[in-house]
Structure 1
Amino acid sequence: MKLFLVGLACLLPLAAAAQAPERSLRPLASPRAITAPAPPLAEAKSAAVQAPKASTPAPKVRPLARPEAALGQIATAPRDPKQAETMGVTRELEPGPDGIQLSKRPKARPIDVRKLAGVQQTAPAPRANAPAQKVTPVKGQICGDPAIQGVFVGPVEASLSACGIDSAVRVQSISGIKLSTSALIDCNTATAVRTWIDKGLRPAVGNYGGGVSTLQIAGSYACRTRNHVKGARISEHGKGHAIDIAAIRLKDGTSLSVLNDWGKGKKGRMLKASHAAGCRIFGTTLGPESDAQHRNHFHFDTAPRRGGVGYCR
């Protein structure tokens, strides 16, 4: 009996071990890297649409070396035949090493290519240091002006120390207008008279009577006092700075007389315009309305005035 019980006790554990467990045991983690579980099929398709594919860089291809025969040649289509001939381009094509039609090297560009292209050419600017052209003096000119004709006189001395001219000239004509009597003055005064003729007298007279022919001179250099008054200051005539004009002769033989025509009709207006022009040019301008001494002539002188404003009466 005891032996039977002992044997039964030994068989019970074996029966319990042979019975399957209700749950299986969790396997141990694998030592390799654990991969994430695959997503569901719908998610996998969505991810496949959204995620950009990794671009595989294309292998770099080194271009083949250009054949020596093709160096310096152009593989472009030829121009229009006429244009090609004009620009010096050969129309014939030659096959290259690979059977490709290659055009020949263009000929040298023609010299007048800018004219062919319609480009306007401009003349080169003159050099800044180019020597000035020599001006040939005109026979009879004085004061360095071909328009002033006469004779160079030089220094003029007088008994009075206040009189005299350092460098005098004897003027015979100015700007083609003759002087009835040569005027002994300096070059500064001669130049002022020329300006008055060109910018005052000629515009005032115009073509009336055929234009101005001669100036009737009433006085130039004279060593005397002002208005011949004893004890007065030396006149500008005594320094070669003054000239007196009594009348303006015209080419038709008529004249504009300061004494007879001042303030009368058309001639009077031309005389007044000539007198007014002198006020803008000379240092002193006197006429019939200044005083009795100048009722029969215009007095022009180049005496300097304060502030550059001339005396005009």
Structure 2
Amino acid sequence: MKPSIVVCLLAAGLFLPPGPVRSDPAPPSATVPLPPPQPPARPEGLVPPAPQVTPLPPERPAELAGGAGKDAGSKDAGKKTDEPQPSAAPDAAKGAPKDEPASLPDAPLPPERPPELSGEQALALKVSALDDAACLRRLERLGARFEALPALGNGQCSAPRPLSVTALADGVALEPAATLTCRTAEALARWTTEVQVAAQKELGDSLKSLALGGTYVCRGQNHDSDAKLSEHSFANAIDVMAYGFSKRASLKVTAAAQGTPEAAFLASVRTGACGFFRTVLGPGSDAAHANHLHLDLRERNAGHRLCQ
């Protein structure tokens, strides 16, 4: 073909040079969605549950309705009962609205205070002393020697039935004689029997006497006039100053050298006193008890004991 003809065909777009033939990609085939599968049939034996019904509360009793309406009164009018019916409400309650609760009765007032427990008559009351008959019998069986004294009283300091105790079991003398209540004298007598055992065990000697610093004295604790009254003010305490023996010299209540028989004896009798008295104070407790052993029966909450 002539070149001029080719140029004309090219210009007209009717002639293309030979080359690979292009083929357009086929359009994707359209996908049609399938319907979902049908659920299985419901078994015949499966029954749907019955609907839950909340039970209604019982009807309010007529006696608690507090001015109930006419309907409640008409319902109860034809009923017969053997139980006593409540008395009619006062006239003031009849006009109260139906939706308001009935007013409660006023609380009863406490009874009036007896005249003998008020004013000067109350101050004149006297509490009778405890019966010491059983305690006195026990004190005799413990080998104590004592005699009854008249009642002691000095303001708040008092002892209605004091005893003068001169000796304990095994002839242990009290120097001077102790003015004590029976309960305190019994505690002292029982503790002294253990002191006798400790004297023979630790010192190889027998206890013959107890040197006392004081029993009944109307004063405050630690001789402080502004402090609470001491148990000495009620013949309820003893101060032991020294121990007397048959063969050896007396032993004062003081801090003894560790490791000696005297220290072992003093520690033993002091520990044993906590089983008979509620208060045990001695050397090391405070400065006021550095030279004696204080023993008393002060009552404390829950039976608490002070042993220092």
TM-score normalised over the length of structure 2: 0.52
Secondary structure of the structure 2 residue equivalent to 1:147: coil
* Deviation readout 1:262-293 (Å, 9 max, x if unpaired): 75611011001100001111010001011011
State the distance in 2 between where 1:232 and 1:282 align: 22
State the distance in 2 between where 1:299 and 1:141 align: 26
Query: Does residue 275 in structure 1 map to residue 270 in structure 2?
Result: yes
State the distance in 2 between where 1:211 and 1:302 align: 27
Q: Which residue of 2 aligns with 1:205?
A: 199
Query: Does residue 187 in structure 1 map to residue 182 in structure 2?
Result: yes
State the distance in 2 between where 1:145 and 1:290 align: 34
Structure 1 246/276 Cα, relative in aligned 2: closer, same or farther at 3 Å? same
Structure 1 311/178 Cα, relative in aligned 2: closer, same or farther at 3 Å? same
State the distance in 1 between where 2:233 and 2:268 align: 28
State the distance in 2 between where 1:188 and 1:288 align: 25
Q: Which residue of 1 aligns with 2:298?
A: 303
Query: Does residue 152 in structure 1 map to residue 148 in structure 2?
Result: yes
Contact conserved, 2:142 with 2:189, CA < 8 A, in 1?
no
Structure 1 169/229 Cα, relative in aligned 2: closer, same or farther at 3 Å? same
Contact conserved, 1:155 with 1:168, CA < 8 A, in 2?
yes
Query: Does residue 289 in structure 1 map to residue 284 in structure 2?
Result: yes
Q: 1:245 aligns with which of 240, 245, 253?
A: 240
What are the equivalent positions in structure 2 for 1:46-61 lying under 5 Å apart? Answer: none
What are the equivalent positions in structure 2 for 1:1-313 lying under 5 Å apart? Answer: 143-145=139-141, 147-158=143-154, 160=155, 162-175=156-169, 176-198=171-193, 200-206=194-200, 208-259=203-254, 261=256, 263=258, 265-313=260-308
State the distance in 1 between where 2:262 and 2:191 align: 18
Structure 1 241/264 Cα, relative in aligned 2: closer, same or farther at 3 Å? farther
Contact conserved, 2:138 with 2:186, CA < 8 A, in 1?
no
Contact conserved, 2:199 with 2:205, CA < 8 A, in 1?
no
State the distance in 2 between where 1:271 and 1:293 align: 18
Contact conserved, 2:281 with 2:289, CA < 8 A, in 1?
yes
Contact conserved, 2:254 with 2:291, CA < 8 A, in 1?
yes
* Deviation readout 1:86-132 (Å, 9 max, x if unpaired): xxxxxxxxxxxxxxxxxxxxxxxxxxxxxxxxxxxxxxxxxxxxxxx
Displacement of 1:223 = 0.3
Secondary structure of the structure 2 residue equivalent to 1:261: coil
Secondary structure of the structure 1 residue equivalent to 2:165: strand
* Deviation readout 1:139-169 (Å, 9 max, x if unpaired): x9995546110221031111x2x20101000
Contact conserved, 1:283 with 1:301, CA < 8 A, in 2?
yes
Contact conserved, 1:224 with 1:235, CA < 8 A, in 2?
yes
State the distance in 1 between where 2:145 and 2:185 align: 10
Higher strand share: 1
Larger radius of gyration: 1
Aligned length: 171
Contact conserved, 1:189 with 1:241, CA < 8 A, in 2?
yes
State the distance in 2 between where 1:219 and 1:163 align: 15
AA partner of residue 149 (structure 2): V
- Where do 5+ consecutive residues of structure 2 fail to align? 1-135
Structure 1 177/225 Cα, relative in aligned 2: closer, same or farther at 3 Å? same
State the distance in 2 between where 1:262 and 1:218 align: 23
State the distance in 2 between where 1:197 and 1:262 align: 23
Structure 1 262/181 Cα, relative in aligned 2: closer, same or farther at 3 Å? farther
